[in-house]
Chains A and B, each alone.
Chain A
Amino acid sequence: MFTINGIRNGFFCAIAFGIVACASTPMPVEKLAVAKSSITRAEQAQAAQFAQVELNSARNKYVAAQAAADKSDALVAARLADQADVDAQLAESTARAKQQEQLVTEMEASLRDLRSETLRRNGTASPQPAPQQ
């Protein structure tokens, strides 16, 4: 039964299985997509201005993850994609927090003005607005 043909067929089979096995260790396409969309969201949240270090880290890791995927290194690609994702999320949340803090600072300043204006207006009989200069 073990003819040359059989051995050859077996060899082909093994190759075929090998290919299938390679295909069944999938590249982390989904993780890469998630990381990419997180980076986009961070960019939209003006992370380039408010969280540059984190955004750059995310971008670099995303590029490295793609490179690993191109080299069929699925594990490294997946980990780099995950890290790029959390870096991008941190960039986005940091940028949002900073901007919101800025708004709070502005709001508190305007509240202070409003309070003193109200006090002044109630404290004195004159209903005229304060001279601006």
Chain B
Amino acid sequence: MKRKSMKSLIAVALVCAVLGLAACETAPDSSAVLDQARSAVAQAESDPNVTRYAPTELDRARKLLINAEGAAKEKSAKDPTAAHYAYLTTQVARIAQQRAQEQAATARMKDGETERQKILLTTRENETDRALAQAQSARADAQSARGDALQSQAESERMAAQLENLQASQTPRGIVLTLDDVLFDTGNAQLKPGARRSLDQIAAFLDENPERRVQVEGFTDSQGANDYNLDLSQSRADAVAVAIIQRGINAERVRALGYGEEFPVAGNADAGSRQLNRRVEIIVSNSDAAIPGRSAGAP
């Protein structure tokens, strides 16, 4: 019997020990778990992402912590209620942090996508700008080339138009325009009204080319006295020079010379040739250089 009672005592002690261990396992020290819960909540609270993105979960954790603290006060240290709520608190605080982290990452994704779009747009704009600039400069080049061409074309056309009725010819001395004798009555130095148009054109031409000088040279045929012809040619040259000056051309640019019967352009044998010799030539300088004088044999 004694042995039996000893055995049963040991058995009871073992059972008690096992039960005690089991109690330790199922109800761990609630104060340690509470500390963990408190620090988990504090950590979540200090995370700015949590207050911004997961305030609901943080609230839930705080309420659970209050429950845990209350249970710890009201119940015995071995009651698992406080530890249970403390555990829930810790987990919910962690959930709050993870949700906040996810939301923050999502926000960064959105920002990143916006920035990506911006970069792509800027790149596209830059490329478009560059293409546009190239196109524009190409167009500008073309326009300016066309403009230059048009301008020079217009100028030569205008000059041609200006001088078309004036029998202009290019010589080493300059452009030589010939006014024939129909602009003067026989033996007279008075310009006929028909000369006006030609003189207007010459004056306009000189006006547009201010660097050019003009020399007016008068000629007669071989009929009549030499001195008379010389005077007549000078008078006619003067008349033309005066007409040009009257049209606004500076007198310094205009010079008048009478050559009489000299430098005929045709023989004086027949009326037609003589008519060609009766003329006034206007030499327009090629530049601002003085017009060289005539020498025998030169045109």
Contact = CB atoms under 8 A, between A and B. Distances in A.
A93 B95 contact: yes
Interface residues of B, number: 27
Contacts of A108: 108, 112
Interface in A62-99: 79, 82-83, 86-87, 89-90, 93-94, 96-97
A104 B101 CA distance: 11
Interface string B86-114: 01100110110011011001101100110
Given A100-B106, A111-B115, A122 B98 contact: no
Contacts of A121: 123, 126
B132 interface: no
A122 B126 contact: yes
Interface in A1-30: none
A33 interface: no
B99 A97 contact: yes
Contacts of B102: 93, 96-97, 100
Contacts of A118: 119, 122-123
Nearest to B80: A79
A103 B120 CA distance: 20
B196 interface: no
Contacts of A115: 119
Contacts of B91: 83, 86-87, 89-90
B130 interface: yes
B84 interface: yes
A129 B98 CA distance: 41
A15 to B, nearest CB: 31
A83 B123 contact: no
B95 A86 contact: yes
B99 A93 contact: yes
Interface string A37-53: 00000000000000000
A97 B105 contact: yes
A8 to B, nearest CB: 38
B127 interface: yes
A44 B283 CA distance: 103
A122 to B, nearest CB: 6
Interface residues of A, number: 25
A79 B87 CA distance: 10
B139 interface: no
A82 B85 CA distance: 10
B127 A127 contact: yes
Contacts of A114: 116, 119-120
B122 A79 contact: no
B130 A127 contact: yes
A86 B105 CA distance: 22
A106 B168 CA distance: 82
Contacts of A89: 91-92, 95
Contact of A83 (B87, B95, B115, B126): B87
A133 B88 CA distance: 54
A126 B198 CA distance: 60
Contacts of B115: 111
Nearest to A94: B98
Interface string B37-50: 00000000000000
Interface in A102-119: 103-104, 107-108, 110-111, 114-115, 118
A90 B126 contact: no
B25 to A, nearest CB: 13
Contact of B109 (A86, A97, A107, A127): A107
20 contacts: A83-B87, A86-B88, A89-B92, A89-B95, A96-B99, A97-B98, A97-B99, A97-B102, A100-B101, A101-B105, A103-B109, A104-B112, A107-B108, A108-B112, A114-B116, A114-B119, A115-B119, A121-B123, A127-B127, A127-B130
Interface of B: 80, 84, 87-88, 91-92, 94-95, 98-99, 101-102, 105-106, 108-109, 112-113, 115-116, 119-120, 122-123, 126-127, 130
